[in-house]
Amino acid sequence: MLPMGRIDVMMADDLERAFREKVAKKFGMRKGSMSLAIEEAIREWMKSEEEAKGPEEAKAKPPLEHMEEVAPPSVDFAREIVRASGENINKCIQCGNCVASCPSGRITAYNSRRIIRKASMGYKEEVLKSIDLWLCTTCYTCVERCPRKIDVVNAILTMRNMAVENGWMLEPHKVVSTNLIKTGHAVPIDQATRERRKDLGLGELPPTVHQYDGALFDVQQILKETGFCGLIERAQPQKAASA
Amino acid sequence: MGREYALFLGCLIPNRYPGIEAAARKVLPKIGIGLADMKGASCCPAPGVVKSFSRPAWLAMAARNICIAEEMGLDVLTFCNGCYGTLAEANHSLRGDRALRDLANSNLKEIGKAFKGSVGVRHLAEVLLKEVTPQGIERAVTKPLGLKVAVHYGCHLIKPRVLREWVGSTERPTFLDELTEALGAESVDWEDKMACCGAGGGVRSAVLDVSLRMLNRKLLSAKEAGADFILNVCPFCHLQFDRGQVELQRLYNLQPYDMPVLHYVQALGLAMGYGPHELGVDMNFVRPDRILNKLS
Amino acid sequence: MVDSHGDLKIGVYVCHCGKNIADVVNVKEVADFSSKLPGVEVAREYLHMCDDVGQEMISNDIRELGLNRVVVAACSPKVHELTFRETLRKAGLNPYLLEIANIREQCSWVHRSDPDGATEKAKGLVKMAVAKARWLMPLETKTVEVTRSALVIGGGIAGIQAALDLADNGYQVYLVEKSPSLGGRMGQWSKVFPTMDCAACILTPKMVSVSQHPKIELLTNSELIEASGSLGNFAVKVRRRPRYVDEDRCTACGICAQKCPVRVPNEIDFGMSSRKAIYMTSPNAVPLAYSIDGENCLYLKRGICRVCERVCEAKAIDFDQKEEVLELRVGSIIVAIGYDPFDPTPLEEYGFGRYKDVITGPMLERMTDPMGPTGGMVLRPSTGKPPRKVAFIQCVGSRDARFNLYCSRVCCMYAIKDSLIIKEQSQGSDVSIFYMDVRAFGKGYEEFYLRSQEAGVKFIRGKVSSIREDPKTHELILRYEDTLMGTALEDSFDLVVLSVGQVPRADTEAISKILGIPRSVDGFLMEAHPKLRPNDAIVDGIYLAGSAQYPKDIPDAVAQASGAAARASIPLSKGQVEVEPLSPLIDEDRCGGCGICIKLCPYGALELEVRGDKEVAKVDEVLCKGCGTCVAACPSGAARLRMFTGEQILSMIRAGAG
Amino acid sequence: MMEGRGEAWFEPRILGFLCNWCSYAAADLAGMSRMEYPPNIRCVRVMCSGRVEPSFVLEALKEGYDGVLIAGCHPPSDCHYQSGNLKARRRYYLLRKLLKELGINPDRVRLEWASASEGQRFAEIVKDFTERLRRLGPNPLRVDRVGAK
């Protein structure tokens, strides 16, 4: 069918002249050359507008995957996960039950099935560096429903351990961990709560490590002993981008 | 009558929602649950974060906490799902796996402790269900609530199924509804009842917007079901429901849900005639006025 | 004693079994070691002892070297013991002078990562076998006359086929069926894949053939309660529950059912319809006669009513019928007890039982039957109207480690068939099949799959994670991931069909206990060998047919039934079977007549008999099954189990220790 | 006097009595399924666990085996001969008492059930028994064999 759209435009004379010359050079002095070129110009413009749009709209589009950027698979990666977690992820039949059960996957592009797949195929960096690894809320719904009885959460936690070991950790997590090392509580007391405790007739500090310095020392001892302190120190905090 | 437990507080109850602690200390002894403080206990440690970073550290810290209860000769009682998840699993692994136990004990040796495996770990919901029983709670209630309640179980209370035989069904559990109805309240059916609140697994701390979007669905669904408040048995879910409403409003410019949030011990306190202030109910971000007005 | 050490000539034959043994065990070393054992005349190793060359090697040595004992170190005696006994017999040596050392199943296959350990163990096993061989005695098998009749348990398509084949071969067959009619599961289905012919049209003629066959005695309302004996001569007891209707008089006019006041859920329709307490399972029932269900009949339960008796013009109602126990003697037994559909209630995430419009495949099957609860129309149970959008969920209870790990093999095809039926009934309907893998393995099956794709049935690769019902519209909302698109989705349907698989029938365990035939891990009856003896149960003389062994579709069930019938007819046509000399010998001089053995024997095969001035134990060789419990308990050592004597076992113990 | 814990690493030698119908079939199935277990066991096939005389076990211990496994069909009713397994069980308990009196650790003798479909279970039993015997140390009736391997 012949295109029927029509736009009449007024424009600066010099632009018109330069444009006509360019068109003649490229398409020849035939009928329809101008339309062809103008249409192309409009399309280009539309595309650039599209790309310049806000992040909200851009997010709706699936991310482009550039396979050439993916590091080559490592045969040891899956084996290491199986060893460390005791969870044989190679049993996965890729049914997608976990994804459909996932509260996180319901609102983001997070896809546990794909993580398991990539892991068992050995794409170590892609898995361990991905923000996706940190979108699991450990709700265990997928674990209860998996037809292969794979403890997906256990596998993911193992991969998270491996990520942190490689120094890949999200910034807010480093903060929580530092709190823990300093105070023995992942969420230590704050001034407002001290006041509320008094108001409620509770002691200003709870009878936890907050009250007992010796106990706090013990906890710190354990965190040192198990290598936790060093681990957190070494970790390069990654900015927690939104998913 | 009654039985004493080693009270494990964790972080959020004493350090953010002391009302839950106050309510528990007032209410539980009245229904036969004695509480003894676990002096010097620490973070459980949190299953979503610490266990995600280093399993050995997670296990050793949990072992230390359990050791405190072992020294007291009492079973651990917690009313935080996260603490329950951590301590129950750690206790089970340490009891069953010699290599893990040896590893944890080698870490504990420095501080003069050793895991023996002599105590159990119980969640308050289990104790209420099995020892106090819904009938027992009904007897203790003096002011039946008469409200519509959206009951939220929370994931780590019921899943994974292993180690939690007492739970029964993980898809459609009923025990917390029974315990809630024993307060003279009506447990409403809500579409997203069994969904995760969105806080766990370190998601809330790292990717707040994702966490809040999960929460939003739950709040919407509770509102649609006509619930007067959301009831939980976990301070982390509690925090997510309570503070999350304010954050949602701020981040996404949403109309306030104005959905009050109560931990079971607080709701139990109200039903037993305690005042909202002594239970810390008014210390939430979301004002409880809506339910208090209905109650009076 | 037979151990005539002086002139013992033992031949030891170590098998490579291709690479199965030789890859792990150093067979040469084992053979060298064997050749130095006392009494060993020759020791050889060879690629496949069981092939012609290998057997020839053994017979030659027997003839030329005068061997009088043979030890074969190879696979399990369960595989080739009979083969090598035959080799011995043909070479003129008593077949019981053979001992097998199991160096494959119990050595090379289980110690692959420890070749040295495996080689040491193989040497030990051979040494033990040689030690036992020294004490072997020549034994004679006894031949026993066979009862030339067979028992077939189960009147479904497999049982029907097996019974007809045996009867056509000329043998008397007793066909035992628990329900009042033949037909089984196939009798419940409407159309069958991939041909889409009506099940009744092809099944009914076979049912009628059974009832008219002069060689088949059909026992409906009956079940097996006891069995004893062995290959060639089984004695079984069958309990026949009363039908309370005289089969010969009943004209199947149906007036009784019209008048019967008791309505109960109809199990044939999985409770989707009701039936009366006097009923026929189908208008095609065989025998074509009504039957009274004693559990629900008012007269039988409470002594009132008898309406059926009053209205029956043929005077066929007979409340005086009593339960009877029939004792039958048969030469072989075929077990064709079939399967049950998986009950999806435990998959709470699918809400079966809670949501009316979530049904199972077999329930849908009943709907498509013109004689079924909806007259052949697929309807939403909640509204009684045709569905517009239907989802099939595959692998419900199958390929799911939480329930049954195995694939049920029929669900893909029946879902495809039903999807086509729905498409035919309502052109505009939207049908989706949620699958993990489509398994269309049979003849014409892939073509059938293609047909449904062409008809517009949507195949979505993803396991549905949960179903919830919209409280207002009662639509069912499915959550799933389309794994081929990688997207988590929600969609609503007005009918959801759970493609449930096959599970062992509820009474499988009971039958397995009565017959002494084991079950596999999946609960189905176990075959003697998964590849080479798929029709045989582990006990000789008992054969398996149909889904009692493993999920099967109709062609496979029929093929296996014919196979089982062929297997079962072997002893019947031979007319005689050899009985292994398993029973104990009693040394009458030693026997003190204490009678301990008599109390222990589970078969009552021992009794005291007067011999001169004392009593001694005597064995009834027909009743004895050779367990040896009496031998183990005999305080005077008078009882000796011919193939497992104390000397034999003790010599093995000592040989293995050194 | 009861024996003490073995110090030196050693490979225990185990004698197994397997009934033809269940446990021998289980052992064969373990092979067909290519499961692995340590090669420390040598098995003797008998028709029924009820055939095993206590004197066989005593003889085995005297001959220097470090442990004896008797395996039959699951009680109560899996036995191919109806109740041979129950008789084996009765004898086993008496035998344990006797061993205790003789100063031999009764844990050197083990009674287990494995059905024809439980290849995995059979492999686990052998693994576990080997491990336990390794911890228990060599049979004191034949200590001279310690470290022979």
Do C362 and C270 meet the contact criterion of CB atoms below 8 Å apart?
A: yes
CA–CA distances in Å: residue A40 to residues A34, A44, B134, C301, C526 = 10, 6, 74, 89, 72
Q: Which two tokens stand for residue B179?
A: 């315990």
Please judge whether C402 and A149 are an interchain contact, meaning their C-beta atoms are less than 8 angstroms apart. Answer: yes
Q: Does A188 touch chain B (CB under 8 A)?
A: yes
Q: Give the gap in angstroms from C-alpha B121 to the nearest C-alpha of chain C.
A: 27
In a domain, residue A29? The reply is yes
- Interface of B to C at Cβ within 8 Å reads 169, 171-172, 189, 191
Whether residue B240 is predicted with pLDDT greater than 60 in this model: the reply is yes
A94: left (phi over 0), alpha (psi -120 to 50) or beta: left
Query: What does the pLDDT average to over C507-535?
Result: 91
Asked whether residue B50 falls in the same domain as residue B88, the answer is yes
Cα atoms in the Cβ-side hemisphere of radius 13 Å centred on B257: 32
CATH number of the domain residue B190 falls in? 3.40.50.11810
In a domain, residue B14? The reply is yes
Please give the mean pLDDT across all residues of chain C.
95
Asked whether residue B98 falls in the same domain as residue B220, the answer is no
Q: Degrees (nearest 5) of the Cα angle A157, A159, A163?
A: 115
Provide the pLDDT for residue D117.
87
Rounded to whole angstroms, how far apart are CA atoms C107 and C115? Answer: 10
Provide the pLDDT for residue A1.
52
Asked whether residue A122 falls in the same domain as residue A174, the answer is no
Model confidence at C235, pLDDT cuts 50, 70, 90, reads very high
In a domain, residue A7? The reply is no
In a domain, residue A221? The reply is yes
Asked whether residue B22 falls in the same domain as residue B57, the answer is yes
Asked whether residue A173 falls in the same domain as residue A147, the answer is no
CATH number of the domain residue B9 falls in? 1.20.1050.140
Provide the pLDDT for residue A53.
59
Query: What does the pLDDT average to over C210-235?
Result: 95
Rounded to whole angstroms, how far apart are CA atoms A99 and B12? Answer: 30
Whether residue A60 is predicted with pLDDT greater than 70 in this model: the reply is no
Q: Give the gap in angstroms from C-alpha A36 to the nearest C-alpha of chain B.
A: 44
Asked whether residue A86 falls in the same domain as residue A147, the answer is yes
Q: Which of B8, B76, B17, B6 is nearest to B237 (CA)?
A: B17
In a domain, residue B127? The reply is no
Q: Which of C208, C217, C205, C203 is nearest to C167 (CA)?
A: C217
Whether residue A31 is predicted with pLDDT greater than 90 in this model: the reply is no
Rounded to whole angstroms, how far apart are CA atoms C652 and C127? Answer: 8
Note the residue count of chain B: 296
Asked whether residue A49 falls in the same domain as residue A104, the answer is no
CA–CA distances in Å: residue C55 to residues A103, C74, C117, C126, C370 = 66, 13, 29, 19, 62
CATH number of the domain residue A124 falls in? 1.10.1060.10
- Where among A114, A148, A166 does a domain terminate? A166
* DSSP category for residue C618: E
- pLDDT tens, D22-51? 999 999 999 999 999 999 999 999 999 999
Largest CA distance in chain B: 57
- Where among B62, B92, B122 does a domain terminate? B122
> What is the SS3 assignment for C334?
strand
Map tokens 């109650």 to a residue: B295
Asked whether residue B157 falls in the same domain as residue B289, the answer is yes
In a domain, residue A182? The reply is yes
In a domain, residue A4? The reply is no
Query: At a CB cut-off of 8 Å and minimum separation 6, what does C235 contact?
Result: C227, C228, C229, C327, C328, C329
Rounded to whole angstroms, how far apart are CA atoms C432 and C430? Answer: 7
Query: What does the pLDDT average to over C499-514?
Result: 95
Mutate to test the interface with C, among B158, B169, B171 (most CBs of C within 10 A): B171
Q: Does B202 touch chain A (CB under 8 A)?
A: yes
Choice between C78 and C550, residue whose per-residue pLDDT is larger: C550
The structural domain count of chain B equals 2
In a domain, residue B145? The reply is yes
Asked whether residue A52 falls in the same domain as residue A74, the answer is no
Q: Which residues of A143-181 are buried (b: 16+ CB within 10 A; e: fewer)?
A: bbbbbbebbbbbbbbbbbbbbbbeebbbebbbebbebbb
Element (H or E) spanning A18, and its range? Answer: helix A13-27
Provide the pLDDT for residue A241.
52
Rounded to whole angstroms, how far apart are CA atoms C138 and A152? Answer: 62
Element (H or E) spanning A37, and its range? Answer: helix A33-51
Provide the pLDDT for residue D2.
40
| Cis amide leading into B173 (omega within 30) | no
pTM of the model: 0.84
Q: Give the gap in angstroms from C-alpha A164 to the nearest C-alpha of chain B.
A: 6
In degrees to the nearest 10, what's the CA dihedral of D58, D59, D65, D67?
-30
Provide the pLDDT for residue A2.
57
Parts of chain D with a pLDDT under 50: 1-8, 145-149
Share of chain D above pLDDT 90, in %: 74
Asked whether residue B206 falls in the same domain as residue B275, the answer is yes
Please judge whether D48 and C628 are an interchain contact, meaning their C-beta atoms are less than 8 angstroms apart. Answer: yes
- Where among A112, A134, A166 does a domain terminate? A166
In a domain, residue B44? The reply is yes
Asked whether residue B154 falls in the same domain as residue B238, the answer is yes
Whether residue A62 is predicted with pLDDT greater than 90 in this model: the reply is no
Asked whether residue A185 falls in the same domain as residue A153, the answer is no
Mutate to test the interface with D, among C23, C627, C642 (most CBs of D within 10 A): C627
Question: Looking at the partner chain, which of B107, B156, B206 has a beta carbon nearest the beta carbon of A134?
Answer: B206
Q: Does A197 touch chain B (CB under 8 A)?
A: yes
**How many beta-carbon pairs under 8 angstroms link A with B?**
230
Query: What does the pLDDT average to over B86-114?
Result: 94
- Alpha-helical runs (H) found in A29-136: 33-51, 55-59, 75-85, 97-101, 112-121, 124-128
In a domain, residue A195? The reply is yes
Sign of CA dihedral D74, D80, D83, D85: negative
Q: Which of B267, B26, B265 is nearest to A202 (CA)?
A: B26
Rounded to whole angstroms, how far apart are CA atoms B87 and B120? Answer: 9
Question: Looking at the partner chain, which of C436, C466, C488 has a beta carbon nearest the beta carbon of A95?
Answer: C436
Please judge whether C488 and A93 are an interchain contact, meaning their C-beta atoms are less than 8 angstroms apart. Answer: no
Q: Which of A82, A84, A88, A143 is nearest to A112 (CA)?
A: A143
Whether residue B178 is predicted with pLDDT greater than 60 in this model: the reply is yes
In a domain, residue B112? The reply is yes
- Where among B94, B122, B150 does a domain terminate? B122
In a domain, residue B251? The reply is yes
Asked whether residue B86 falls in the same domain as residue B32, the answer is yes
Asked whether residue A215 falls in the same domain as residue A200, the answer is yes
Asked whether residue A43 falls in the same domain as residue A79, the answer is no
C471 interaction partners in chain B (CB closer than 8 Å): 189
- pLDDT tens, C429-476? 999 999 999 999 999 999 999 999 999 999 999 999 999 999 888 999
Q: Whole domain around residue B255: which residue ranges?
A: 132-295
Rounded to whole angstroms, how far apart are CA atoms B236 and B199? Answer: 7
Whether residue A54 is predicted with pLDDT greater than 60 in this model: the reply is no
The structural domain count of chain A equals 3
Whether residue B270 is predicted with pLDDT greater than 50 in this model: the reply is yes
Q: Whole domain around residue A222: which residue ranges?
A: 169-238
In a domain, residue B287? The reply is yes
Do C501 and C395 meet the contact criterion of CB atoms below 8 Å apart?
A: yes
ipTM summary value? 0.83
**How many beta-carbon pairs under 8 angstroms link C with D?**
144
Rounded to whole angstroms, how far apart are CA atoms C639 and D50? Answer: 14
Query: What does the pLDDT average to over C259-265?
Result: 96
Asked whether residue B162 falls in the same domain as residue B38, the answer is no
Asked whether residue A131 falls in the same domain as residue A209, the answer is no
Choice between A33 and C315, residue whose per-residue pLDDT is larger: C315
Question: Looking at the partner chain, which of A98, A101, A113 has a beta carbon nearest the beta carbon of C466?
Answer: A101
Provide the pLDDT for residue B95.
92
Q: Does D27 touch chain C (CB under 8 A)?
A: yes
- Where among B87, B122, B157 does a domain terminate? B122
Asked whether residue B42 falls in the same domain as residue B166, the answer is no
Query: What does the pLDDT average to over C314-322?
Result: 96
In a domain, residue A65? The reply is no
> What is the SS3 assignment for C459?
strand
Model confidence at A8, pLDDT cuts 50, 70, 90, reads confident
Asked whether residue A116 falls in the same domain as residue A140, the answer is yes
Asked whether residue B162 falls in the same domain as residue B288, the answer is yes
Please judge whether B171 and C349 are an interchain contact, meaning their C-beta atoms are less than 8 angstroms apart. Answer: yes
Asked whether residue B40 falls in the same domain as residue B104, the answer is yes
Please judge whether D84 and C602 are an interchain contact, meaning their C-beta atoms are less than 8 angstroms apart. Answer: yes
- Where among A166, A191, A224 does a domain terminate? A166
Rounded to whole angstroms, how far apart are CA atoms C151 and C222? Answer: 12
Asked whether residue B58 falls in the same domain as residue B150, the answer is no
Whether residue A23 is predicted with pLDDT greater than 90 in this model: the reply is no
CA–CA distances in Å: residue B152 to residues A36, B82, B227, C465 = 62, 14, 12, 20
Please judge whether C348 and B172 are an interchain contact, meaning their C-beta atoms are less than 8 angstroms apart. Answer: yes
Query: What does the pLDDT average to over B180-201?
Result: 96
Asked whether residue A217 falls in the same domain as residue A131, the answer is no
Please judge whether C465 and A145 are an interchain contact, meaning their C-beta atoms are less than 8 angstroms apart. Answer: yes
Asked whether residue A42 falls in the same domain as residue A110, the answer is no
CA C594 from chain center: how many Å? Answer: 42
In a domain, residue A145? The reply is yes
Please judge whether D59 and C650 are an interchain contact, meaning their C-beta atoms are less than 8 angstroms apart. Answer: yes
Do C429 and C458 meet the contact criterion of CB atoms below 8 Å apart?
A: no
